[in-house]
A = this chain, B = another copy of it.
Amino acid sequence: MRILVVGMGLIGGSICKSIKAATSHAVYGCDVQQAVLDDAIADGAIDGTGTMTDGTYDMIILCLHQRIAIQMVQEALPKIPAGTILVDTCGLKGRMVRDLTYRCRKADVRYVGTHPMAGREKNGYYASIPNLFQNANLIVTPVDGTDEAALDTVKELADQMGFGKIVTATPMWHDNMIAYTSQLAHVVSSSYVKDFCMDDALSFSGGSFQDMTRVATMDESMWAALFLDNRDNLLYHLDLLIENLTDYRDALKQRDEERLQYLIAEGRQIQEENVRKRQEQNELQKGETA
């Protein structure tokens, strides 16, 4: 295949590098920064450069923020040949999949929504690595009208790139889960560091404190937009967390040791089950690799 990757940041750059490392597909890059494209060619991450409207690709992979991605597709669609597979990698799927499924179907472009569950604490092309997706989950969000053959092509490529598990979800369920597993974690981390003891914490901290605070270094313009784009889901899980924390507070206030033990045991049992399932999944993946 001839593959165009649009947006050569951490995800886009890593996609190029992992496709080049694992397949014989030709990979082309598109980015607003010419220096990044030059370096990507020098790195062997891409075979050349291109644009969405030069009309010569089997697959176009969008690695852009949601708001920019929708606008760019809207402008480029009239010039994208019928049959082209268009993939997006945005972290929210509800609005994206609704918009692009509708628009692409009218243009006979075969759209597939995905979300690669991988990242690093650094961003941008210069943080990209070929093994970023090794054993990571890839969420795919097909809906009524998604082209089955296009979906299979995407899954096969993901498999070659080293993804661990390919998970199918509806766009709405995906966004709900991301509100819980990622966005809420970022809100907690950002809230956790706002304590007058933070200045002195370094001397008293072990692993659990590092865990709580690690992702507090969010970029405010990107994350505020992401939170608002997924507002209802995030609000739901945030309310629930505040309720659960308030249960602890009330039991402590009332010096209710029995209730505290109950609350701790409840969490322990849920997490033990989670750890057990994760181990099972890891063993399954090991078995498949062996």
Q: Give the interface of A toward B (CB within 8 A).
A: 117-119, 136-137, 139, 165, 167, 169, 174, 176-178, 180-182, 184-195, 197-198, 200-209, 211-221, 223-225, 227-228, 231, 234-235, 237-242, 244-249, 252-253, 255, 257, 260-268, 270-272, 274-275, 277-278, 281
**A261 CA to B226 CA, complexed, in Å:** 11
17 additional A-B residue pairs with CB within 8 Å, beyond A212-B212, A223-B264: A118-B206, A137-B203, A139-B203, A180-B204, A187-B248, A190-B263, A190-B264, A190-B271, A191-B267, A192-B244, A194-B244, A202-B281, A211-B211, A220-B268, A228-B252, A235-B252, A242-B242
The answer, among B117, B198, B203, B215, for a CB contact under 8 Å with A204, is B117
- B268 contacts A213, C-beta separation under 8 Å: no
> A116's closest neighbor in chain B, by CB?
B206
Which residues of B sit under 8 angstroms from A253, Cβ to Cβ?
Answer: 235
A24: min CB distance to chain B, Å: 30
Choose from B227, B257, B272 the contact partner of A224 (Cβ within 8 Å): B257
Least Cβ distance of A268 to chain B in Å? 5
CA distance A62 to B115 in the complex (A): 52
Minimal beta-carbon separation of A266 from chain B (angstroms): 7
Closest to A200 in B: B177
B241 touches A192 (CB 8 A): yes
In the complex, A235→B208 CA distance in Å? 18
Q: Considering the chains assembled together, what is the distance between the CA atoms of A213 and B180 in angstroms?
A: 12
Q: Are B191 and A248 within 8 A (Cβ)? A: yes
**Which residues in B have their C-beta under 8 angstroms from that of A245?**
187-188, 191, 238, 241-242, 245
Known contacts A217-B272, A249-B235; decide if A224 and B266 are in contact (CB<8 Å): no
Contact, CB under 8 Å: A274 / B215 = no
- Interfacial chain B residues near A169, Cβ < 8 Å: 203-204
Chain B residues with CB under 8 A of A263: 190
Give the distance to chain B from A204, nearest Cβ to Cβ, in Å. 4
Q: Which residues of B contact A241 (CB under 8 A)?
A: 191-192, 195, 245
CA gap between A88 and B113 in the complex, in Å: 58
In Å, the complex CA distance between A275 and B201 comes to: 11
Q: Can you give 24 A-B contacts (C-beta < 8 A)?
A: A117-B206, A169-B203, A176-B197, A182-B205, A185-B212, A187-B245, A191-B245, A193-B274, A194-B240, A194-B270, A197-B237, A201-B274, A216-B267, A217-B267, A219-B264, A220-B260, A220-B268, A227-B252, A228-B255, A228-B257, A235-B252, A235-B253, A238-B248, A242-B246
